[in-house]
Structure 1
């Protein structure tokens, strides 16, 4: 697998409508998971909202989107991130290291509970980045 770069859009309550619209524009396969699917929110109002969606268009483009729970702030105009993901650890770590120069680190790039290394930062130009390096879960054989 190669490293992938794609936008990750955040919405308040209309991520499903938005990502379905983008599917009508770009075509492709759409996968949508709700907060209820993963018991990821204690607020019943969030149950049917989109926790994560991914549109893989036939031309190789990928777009991700999610609803922001009401317990979190969202501001129009800053409701996007750029996602870097894949299993090319050295390349992705290098991107993280370079993006970190002058950045505000929201989540250090470190081993996450799901087994990947994950980090979030806002670069010196105000762009939000998510970096996810695929990896084996803790304790799993390599």
Structure 2
């Protein structure tokens, strides 16, 4: 197997809702495991929280996430964004529209100075997304 790099998003008490939402955006199979299933927390209030979630879309996208246990620090912030890019405008605009629904559009989807179509939003769970649709290939230099 080749090495993969997958975003892993930490949540506080809403990983199930967030991962289910992302499944509605990207489709695919969602596997959720709770702390209770693996006896991974001594706190009974955490038994139904998500210890590990993994969404694998038909297009090969993989997104992971979990609830942060109460005993661990949880400091949501703006230090990371998830980026989607490609050349299928219909697909990528669809993702952008679904991700921004209930969230905040920070950069509308429009032609960017570098020639691509680009937009940014923060979804209803506070996760920042960048979406870039590749423009026409540049003409070769003569």
TM-score scaled by length of structure 2? 0.54
Q: Give the C-alpha shift of residue 55 in structure 1.
A: 0.2
Q: Compared with structure 1, are the counterparts of its residues 78 and 72 closer, same or farther at alpha carbon in structure 2 (3 Å cutoff)?
A: farther
Unaligned residue ranges in structure 2 (runs of 5+): 83-142
**Greater radius of gyration (CA):** 2
Number of equivalences: 82
Q: CA separation in 1, counterparts of 2:37 and 2:79?
A: 23
Tell me which residue corresponds to 2:55: 55
Structure with the larger RCO, 1 or 2 (CA within 8 Å, 6+ apart):
1
RMSD: 2.0
Unaligned residue ranges in structure 1 (runs of 5+): 83-142
Q: Give the C-alpha shift of residue 77 in structure 1.
A: 1.3
Q: Compared with structure 1, are the counterparts of its residues 68 and 33 closer, same or farther at alpha carbon in structure 2 (3 Å cutoff)?
A: same
Contact 1:32–1:50 (CA<8 Å) still a contact in 2?
yes
TM-score scaled by length of structure 1? 0.54
Deviation digits for residues 3-48 of structure 1 (CA, Å, limit 9, x no counterpart): 1111000001000000000000000000000000100000001100
